[in-house]
Copies of this chain bind each other. A is one copy, B any other.
Amino acid sequence: MPINSFTDYPMSWKPDRDALKRPLYLSLALLLEYDITNGFLAPGTKLPPQRELADFLDVNFTTITRAYKVCELKGLIYAVTGSGTFVSPNAARSITISKDKISSECIDLGFVASFEQTNPIVAVAAKRVMEKSYLEQLFDYNDPTGKPHHKIAGLNWMSAFGIQADIENMAIVSGAQNALAITLLALFEPGNRIAVDIYTYANFIEISKMFRIKLVPIPGDEYGMLPNELENQCLQLDVHGVFLMPSCSNPTSVMIPENRKKELAAIIRKHNLILIEDDIHAFLTAGIIENYGQPMFQLLPEQTVYICSTSKSICSGLRVAYIVFCDAFKEKIIKAIFNINVKTSSLDAEIITELILSGKANAIVEEKRQLAQSANHLFTEFFPRPLHTGHPLSFYRWIPISDNVNASRMESYFLNKGIRVFHSDRFLSGASTKDNFLRIALASTNSMEELQRGLKILKENLGKNTDV
């Protein structure tokens, strides 16, 4: 029975006792989900402590634990022992980022495309593929993990980034996101934990939610995730994996230097984590950036799933990525590939292969690099101060902002001004922070002129958007 009085300290959430049906915990979880998705409980709201709410509802406190857990696995709330339970920053909305649904008058500085101006080169390669004597063999079920010459071309391509692997330890999949889905399905289970940067790839956050995998946010500095912070979490929690983009993290554009990679690798090895290394930006880094060494896969080949997509470097529409793994992961990953994809289109893989073998892929990369350089140069003209560290050729920039309205309103405000930008809350893997940033995509406009117009709008309206 209730023993406290709640009149003096009203609880942030008072579910209707009479609305509860058996099973109590599910009924309660549904009520909570309803109130969050309908905006009655704003992001960041502290929910009543388990024992207090249990007292109020006259149930055992572990019933509240269960109800809260259902919502936590859906990503609606998060809990911190000692502090309380809070509504997630992105609880009420999907943060999935895609090219869909944006008005044509709007300049897109949100979604990160890949300087699509290079696609005429792809068209030429596609036409050359049509002359192949074995063209028809690209249209059947054979070679579900990739034809041997596709795989060899992939290994060849990745060797420039420092990857040494055998044809037996790789497969062709349909893009980096597809590779992440496959990896999570193959090697993780619902309830497993993966360590990530505090700000990380939004679609990785979303797919983790969908697979009921918990993310453990690890603080970082200008050189990336902090090894001792990772170690702390591993000592406290049962962490199964870690997700990193060492060549150029998304969204922060942080590049992890070699010594930091080694420190992180030591922790990852010590705690036997599975490292998911998304190296989609390798082509902007390996052989380009001074002192760049090698992917972390080479440091931890037995514990790493290395993902190398060609979407950003070669062609975004063909959906081809390479996934590299050790023998221990092989069977599980290939099974997941069969169950999610059956196979990746051999035609798409053939065109990518043609581009690689003919050297045109390198020409594309060179052109994209120059476009990236120009775009970054343009960006620094608008935002000259050293607002950030990060990769000099990044396809996006990460800027701190003083505006402190909520993320949705911020994004809407800029949409109304004619540009789409993404607020840092979209990329939050855990609790809200005081800091606010914007991620500005540089690779998605049709021209530098359009990018310039977009950046102008951004600069003119930054800082004007502050609540009380």
Q: Which residues of A contact B (CB under 8 A)?
A: 94, 96-100, 111, 113-114, 116, 119-120, 122-123, 126-127, 130, 135-145, 174-175, 177-178, 181, 185, 190, 203, 206-207, 210-212, 311, 315-319, 331, 334-336, 338-348, 351
Contact = CB atoms under 8 A, between A and B. Distances in A.
Contact of A335 (B94, B123, B175): B94
Tell which of A206, A318, A340 has the most Cβ of chain B within 10 Å.
A340
This protein's copies in its complex: 2
A147 to B, nearest CB: 11
Nearest to A138: B317
Contacts of A331: 94
Nearest to A318: B345
Nearest to A185: B210
B136 A341 contact: no
Contacts of A185: 210-211
Contact of A210 (B140, B316, B336, B346): B336
A77 to B, nearest CB: 17
B142 A99 contact: yes
Contacts of A113: 140-141
B122 A340 contact: no
Contacts of A145: 100
A16 to B, nearest CB: 24
B140 A181 contact: no
Contacts of A318: 139, 345, 347
B123 A139 contact: yes
A96 B335 contact: yes
11 contacts: A96-B339, A97-B338, A98-B338, A99-B142, A99-B143, A116-B139, A138-B317, A141-B317, A206-B335, A210-B336, A318-B345
A374 to B, nearest CB: 19
Given A207-B339, A319-B342, 5 more contacts: A100-B338, A113-B141, A130-B130, A139-B315, A210-B339
B181 A144 contact: no
A162 B96 CA distance: 34
A348 B144 CA distance: 16
Contacts of A119: 136-137, 139-140
A33 to B, nearest CB: 12
B317 A181 contact: no
A119 B137 CA distance: 8
A342 B141 CA distance: 22
Contacts of A140: 113, 116, 119, 316-317
B123 A334 contact: no
Contacts of A96: 335, 338-339
Contacts of A126: 130, 135, 347
Given A123-B139, A318-B345, A347-B317, A340 B340 contact: yes
Given A144-B98, A144-B99, A136 B122 contact: yes
A99 B137 CA distance: 14
Contact of A136 (B123, B174, B203, B346): B123
A101 to B, nearest CB: 9
Contacts of A345: 174, 317-319, 345, 348
Contacts of A339: 96, 177, 181, 203, 206-207, 210
A209 to B, nearest CB: 9
A175 B336 CA distance: 15
A315 B137 CA distance: 11
A175 B319 CA distance: 14
Closest 8 CB pairs of A and B: A139-B317, A119-B139, A99-B141, A119-B136, A116-B140, A207-B339, A98-B338, A177-B342
A313 B97 CA distance: 33
B100 A334 contact: yes
A317 B346 contact: yes
A448 B207 CA distance: 45
A285 to B, nearest CB: 22
A234 to B, nearest CB: 19
A212 B98 CA distance: 28
Contacts of A130: 123, 126-127, 130
